[in-house]
A = this chain, B = another copy of it.
């Protein structure tokens, strides 16, 4: 899985703390995680194209969430950055070789592909059930008070 997924999830979580009438530039998002700004921008563009974040141009511009954090699932972010294709790709090799028959004979999909896709379906269901809002609510439990203090001190200098 692409590394950008991790970046995207962290950035979306951080953007969820930005007031709806403000925005945070990509450079600040990169600074907060010490990420290469130009490359992170590429992933933020993907999130923007898929309607997850909203881009505000010009000075006092930046990114903000395009919809409430309760309506953005982790699956949305993963799909926006890594694409929504199945991880398992069935190339129908069963239709090749000495046992191949007419195309019309293959009515059901390959059993192997069905099983793999069923497993991916549970994975997607799990990620679809987790919203960005839940990630934010879980933050106080994971970050130490000292780190939270530093983050809160930095935050006002980043939003515009």
Contact = CB atoms under 8 A, between A and B. Distances in A.
Interface of A: 1, 3, 5-7, 9-10, 13, 31-35, 74, 87-91, 93-94, 96-102, 105-113, 115-116, 118-120, 122-127, 130, 135, 138-139, 141-144, 146-148, 150-151, 154
Contact of A111 (B89, B119, B139, B146): B139
Contacts of A89: 1, 3, 6
Given A74-B116, A135-B111, A142-B111, A91 B6 contact: yes
Given A105-B147, A119-B127, A111 B98 contact: no
- Secondary structure at chain A's binding surface: helix, strand, loop or mixed? helix
Nearest to A134: B115
Given A31-B97, A34-B96, A115-B130, 8 more contacts: A1-B88, A3-B91, A6-B112, A98-B154, A99-B147, A119-B126, A119-B130, A122-B122
A139 B3 CA distance: 38
